[in-house]
Structure 1
Amino acid sequence: MATIRARKRADGTIGYTVQIRINRDKELVYQESQTFARKQAAQAWAKRRETELAEPGAIERATRTGHTVREMITRYMLERAKVEPMGKTKKATLLAIAASYLGDIVDSAVSSQVLVDYALWRMGPEGGAVQPQTAGNDLAHLGSVLSIARPAWGYEVSPHAMTDARTVLKKLGYKMKSRERDRRPAMEELDKYIEHFFEMQKRRPSSINMPKVLAFALFSTRRQEEITRICWADLDEERQAVKVRDMKNPGQKIGNDVWCHLPDEAWAILQSMPREREEIFPYNSDSISAAWTRASKFLEIDDLRFHDLRHEGISRLFEMDWDIPRVSSVSGHRDWNSLRRYTHLRGRGDQYKGWKWFCKVRDAPVVLGEGGLLSCGP
């Protein structure tokens, strides 16, 4: 028989613990327990689990030592670290999942019901009251772990649990996918950023030359991490192109080196950097991110990310009547559907023609500091 008890967790939230105990000839032969965020989920699991355990051989199978979600996540992170560094967002998300009640659930108990319950818990006040898109990201990152847990390590994970959970959540009306972002910087906002960063350069000449980094990101459409990896050896002077190493791609990242054309403005800014290091922009990506965040807060500019400069650069090229193949030769996109997500037009023509900041940014001196430098591969 299964019993359900409500217990207060250390963080003040209520968990519902299901305990199943099976006796044979007055001897305890099997017991297990699971904790859920919702009582309804606990009741559903208890009913399903009792039915499963009543089948021939079920007790024997159930007595095997299971592996928790936390163990699976830990192993996944260790294996991934051997190949490439994990993104900060994905790493933080997986660690948070491992630290939650879901981390204690064993592989064989990870069902679509358990995953749906976790998503609903995350969207509820006890789980942080996150948006459906954030809960969807949690499931996406966890899905990366579950997808290899059975074929790679032999863990008893249902191959359909995640797919079924997403189907259920979709049927319930939750939009788990992130909405397409259409934020582009206004000229007035860019003016504020560049003025602010030039002022910082006066105070600390050897700090990150954010005016050049900002302008290069805008005109080249390159991502923040890509900018800091570009080396002088990666340039093709004749084609005015740069090899973007390990370009982000859903199916491949490591070894996905792509040649991308650099528009004239991006090429001019790149050539204005001193050839004192292997890297053209020898800065730490996290430091660029921190500088952007501090400036946004100081300037009181809301909801503008450094990555939005890529949106701006791609949209600008289309506004200049560049066709899809020509734009993709700059952005590195492989298909129109991906490129479309970055395209949000405001009109026709080049609003940066005669931009008052371009020459000042291009001609600004650069003093390279020490530390935090990256190195290029072969």
Structure 2
Amino acid sequence: MATIFQRGKFWRAQIRRSGYPALTATFDSKLAAQRWAVEKESEIQKNSPERLRQRIEMRQFTLNDALDRYEREVLPAKSANARKIEPTYCRNLRAVLGPFPLADLDGAHLSRTLRQWDQEKSWSPNTVRLHLALLSFLFGVARKEWGMPDLVNPVPLVRKPKLPRGRDRRLVGDEESRLLAACSLTNPELADIVIFAIETAMRQGEIMDLEWRHINWLDHIAYLPETKNGSARLVPLSERAEAVLQRQQARTKDQNDRVWKYTNNGMRAVYNRAVKRAGIEGLTFHDLRHEATSRLVEKGIPIMTAQAITGHKSTQMLKRYTHISAQSLVQAVRGQN
């Protein structure tokens, strides 16, 4: 039976039963204390001591606790890319939801958080969705591996920001020759990086992290041990891509390390200046991956083969990156080569 007594202006309720953890709560009125006691005693009747203990612990387990455990136990086993970016997502989630018990995080809490981010942050819809994906994954781990099967994942309960249409920027007219000329004036290595991007459809990080030991000259392949998707990939090298590597090889004294001398940020900065010098507008380095992917499809390479080359997770994502030129469509219909 529950014990209810007044202490000062407040009413205190206690429930003690053999084999169960003690429950205590304070209320403004005796009626509220009585209602709570009836509710908790009903729960005790329905649950085993162990299950009740789990539920109480779950009520005390905050998002901060969950993220600490996630970074300690789960994150070290994930890909290099995840280990690099997810601590930032964890920090952002802590800033707004950290003190909340995991069991109390519901759709309403999360919706308020999304509105707060929309007002205070200049994040893209995809950045918001990546934060939500991490939170959803965290709830899944807690339910399956941390003994909290009663947790309700709030992420499916909220509306996620819509992703914009995929960029369709491609090189047009003489932009490729103008871009390469401007890059060559800056540094011939920069021009070769641009050519390599167009020939291989590799991501910027994959290109800049490439090491000589991962180039297989005999099989004409670049091996990527870790990619954004967390899996290794083999990238076929065209004759033009191999020629780029041969030129860079001649420039490089130490061939036991990275292929390119630029850092990621350094290359991006000089590339943007070269684009401006060439008088080209709205062409990011990532757009070269769109260009390369589209060219693979225009060559008639099967979709699944193109997907294997580019490393897209799905054909749907590959489709977002593929923008076939009108000229190629006309040639396909009219049977022209």
Q: TM-score, normalised by structure 1?
A: 0.63
SS across alignment from 2:227? coil
Percent identity between matched residues is 24
Q: Pairwise mapping of residues 136-151 of structure 1 onto structure 2 (< 5 A)?
A: 136-151=129-144
Q: Is the 8 A contact 1:319 1:347 kept in 2?
A: no
Q: Is 1:184 aligned to 2:170, yes or no? A: yes
Between the aligned partners of 1:318 and 1:259, the Cα distance in structure 2 is 18
Between the aligned partners of 1:98 and 1:293, the Cα distance in structure 2 is 35
Relative to structure 1, the CA distance from residue 227 to residue 31 in structure 2 (aligned partners, 3 Å threshold; closer, same or farther) is farther
Q: Is 1:257 aligned to 2:235, yes or no? A: no
Amino acid at match of 1:163: P
Q: Equivalent residue for 1:356?
A: none
1:69 pairs with one of 59, 63, 74: 63
Give the deviation of 1:311 after TM superposition.
Answer: 0.9
2:255 pairs with one of 277, 280, 302: 277
Q: Is the 8 A contact 2:171 2:291 kept in 1?
A: yes
Q: Is 1:162 aligned to 2:155, yes or no? A: yes
Between the aligned partners of 1:53 and 1:302, the Cα distance in structure 2 is 68
Q: Equivalent residue for 1:95?
A: 91
SS across alignment from 1:56? helix
Q: Equivalent residue for 2:183?
A: 197
Q: Is the 8 A contact 1:115 1:162 kept in 2?
A: yes
Relative to structure 1, the CA distance from residue 297 to residue 258 in structure 2 (aligned partners, 3 Å threshold; closer, same or farther) is same
Q: Is the 8 A contact 2:225 2:232 kept in 1?
A: yes
Of the structure 1 ranges 305-314 and 234-243, higher mean CA displacement relative to structure 2 is found in: 234-243
Q: Pairwise mapping of residues 18-167 of structure 1 onto structure 2 (< 5 A)?
A: 24-26=4-6, 27-28=11-12, 29-30=24-25, 55-56=39-40, 64=57, 66-79=60-73, 80-81=75-76, 83-87=78-82, 89-100=85-96, 102-123=97-118, 125=119, 127-128=120-121, 132-154=125-147, 158-165=151-158
Q: Equivalent residue for 1:368?
A: none
Q: What does the per-residue CA deviation read over 1:229-260, in whole Å, with 9 as the maximum and x for residues that have no partner?
A: 333333333432222222333xxx1xx32222
Give the deviation of 1:263 after TM superposition.
Answer: 2.0
Q: Is the 8 A contact 1:68 1:103 kept in 2?
A: yes
Q: Pairwise mapping of residues 316-327 of structure 1 onto structure 2 (< 5 A)?
A: 316-327=295-306
Cα RMSD (Å) of the superposition? 3.7
Between the aligned partners of 1:53 and 1:264, the Cα distance in structure 2 is 78
Q: Which has the higher helix share?
A: 2
Q: What does the per-residue CA deviation read over 1:158-211, in whole Å, with 9 as the maximum and x for residues that have no partner?
A: 24322233xxx2xxxx6434543323244555455434433333xxx8xxx321
Give the deviation of 1:302 after TM superposition.
Answer: 5.6
Amino acid at match of 2:193: V
Between the aligned partners of 2:36 and 2:168, the Cα distance in structure 1 is 49
Relative to structure 1, the CA distance from residue 93 to residue 191 in structure 2 (aligned partners, 3 Å threshold; closer, same or farther) is farther
Between the aligned partners of 2:245 and 2:315, the Cα distance in structure 1 is 28
Relative to structure 1, the CA distance from residue 264 to residue 73 in structure 2 (aligned partners, 3 Å threshold; closer, same or farther) is same
Relative to structure 1, the CA distance from residue 152 to residue 122 in structure 2 (aligned partners, 3 Å threshold; closer, same or farther) is same
Give the deviation of 1:140 after TM superposition.
Answer: 1.8
Between the aligned partners of 2:56 and 2:233, the Cα distance in structure 1 is 51
Q: Equivalent residue for 1:268?
A: 243
Relative to structure 1, the CA distance from residue 157 to residue 270 in structure 2 (aligned partners, 3 Å threshold; closer, same or farther) is farther
Of the structure 1 ranges 128-137 and 68-77, higher mean CA displacement relative to structure 2 is found in: 128-137
Q: TM-score, normalised by structure 2?
A: 0.69
Of the structure 1 ranges 60-69 and 103-112, higher mean CA displacement relative to structure 2 is found in: 60-69
Q: Is 1:244 aligned to 2:248, yes or no? A: no
Q: What does the per-residue CA deviation read over 1:132-178, in whole Å, with 9 as the maximum and x for residues that have no partner?
A: 5543333123223332233333467724322233xxx2xxxx64345
Q: Equivalent residue for 1:306?
A: 285
Between the aligned partners of 1:290 and 1:270, the Cα distance in structure 2 is 22
Amino acid at match of 2:104: A
SS across alignment from 1:259? strand
Q: Pairwise mapping of residues 206-221 of structure 1 onto structure 2 (< 5 A)?
A: 209-221=189-201
Relative to structure 1, the CA distance from residue 67 to residue 199 in structure 2 (aligned partners, 3 Å threshold; closer, same or farther) is farther
Unaligned runs of 5+ in 1: 1-22, 33-50, 350-378
Q: Equivalent residue for 2:15?
A: none
Between the aligned partners of 1:326 and 1:83, the Cα distance in structure 2 is 26
2:316 pairs with one of 337, 358, 365: 337
Between the aligned partners of 2:323 and 2:80, the Cα distance in structure 1 is 32
Q: Is the 8 A contact 2:202 2:310 kept in 1?
A: yes
Amino acid at match of 1:198: S
Between the aligned partners of 2:170 and 2:85, the Cα distance in structure 1 is 23
Count residues in correspondence. Answer: 288
Give the deviation of 1:325 after TM superposition.
Answer: 4.7
